[in-house]
Every structure is written in structure tokens, then in C-alpha cells.
Amino acid sequence: MQHCSTVAAAAAAGASLVAARAADGAAAVTCTQDVQQQAAHTDLDDLKMVLCVNQSLKKGKGKIGAQCAHAAICAVLQLLASDESLFVRWEQCGQRKIVVKVQDAQCMEALAAAAAAAGHAAYIMRDAGRTQVAPDSQTVLALGPAPEAEIDRLTGHLQLL
């Protein structure tokens, strides 16, 4: 997986999106209205992101929260670069995220591969190693956002954190 800093172009895309919205001055479209306009997709109102936390690493609650935030941000930057319309729909539908437990880095890699094979975004966060875990430790896997039914096929067996 690539490091978050390698998706800097996505940040520019995000800035363009924000500037376009501000310049447009149009009222935000509600999730329901937006989904109705997306006739090709029937389940986009149930978009969510799943954050899978590596349980083999000993981390405090604050570290887990920070790593989840890092993974979510990097996943969103990748999404902005690849499918801005999906980002907009997910944003308008409440940016739903859930956090689950995953056994170890090998399980994270298998989930990431399965997500990629299904056409969904997957981002593995690697720690810099300055505090609680070794450098390059795989701490959190961000999957999606994707339609809930599809992402649940990948993660439905995992326990909530």
C-alpha cells in the first residue's frame, strides 16, 4: 500500500471540490435526493467505511483513535483521486464509519486483497514508530467507503471494537 503522502494530488482534488462548492453557492443536496439521481446504483444510500484495527499490536486507546483517523483521511484522499462522485455521495449520506477488530497484519492484508478484488478501496496505515509500536507496523486497514451489503460480505464476521 502506498503512503498517505503519495496521494497529494488527491488533496488538490479535495481543495478543488471545496472551492467549487463555495463558488457555486448552491444548497447541499440531501442524501435521499442524491441517491435518487444515481439510478445506476440502488444501494448507495448505505455507503460506509470500515476501519479494521490490528489487535496483535499493543496500543493505547488514544493511539488506536489516532491511527483510525490517519487511515480514514488517507483512504478519503485516495477516493478523491479515484472517484470524487462516490466521495460526494458518501459525504452527503453522513460519512458512516465503523471500527472492528482484526487479528493481525496478515488478516489485514487478506482483507485488503479481497476488497481490491471486489473493486473496493483499501488503505493499510503503517505507523512511523515514534511512540508505542515498531516502525512500519500495520495498525489499521480502512475499507471503502462502499455499499454496506458489499463491505459486509468482507467484514461482517469481524467484532466491533
Answer whether residue 30 is part of any domain.
Answer: no
Answer whether residue 107 is part of any domain.
Answer: yes
Strand order across the beta sheet in which 138-147 lies: 97-102, 47-54, 138-147, 122-126
In the chain, how many domains are there? 1
Answer whether residue 160 is part of any domain.
Answer: no
Answer whether residue 59 is part of any domain.
Answer: yes
* pLDDT score of 93: 85
* CATH assignment at residue 95: 3.40.1490.10
* pLDDT score of 20: 46
Nearest to 62, CA basis, from 131, 128, 143, 160: 131
Answer whether residue 97 is part of any domain.
Answer: yes
Structural domain span for residue 141: 4-23+41-155
* pLDDT score of 35: 41
Answer whether residue 33 is part of any domain.
Answer: no
pLDDT along the chain (161 residues), means of 10: 42 48 41 42 72 95 95 94 92 93 96 95 93 93 95 96 95
Q: Extract the C-alpha cell encoding 86.
A: 462516490
Answer whether residue 35 is part of any domain.
Answer: no
| Measured distance CA(52)–CA(42) in Å, rounded | 26
* pLDDT score of 45: 62
Answer whether residue 34 is part of any domain.
Answer: no
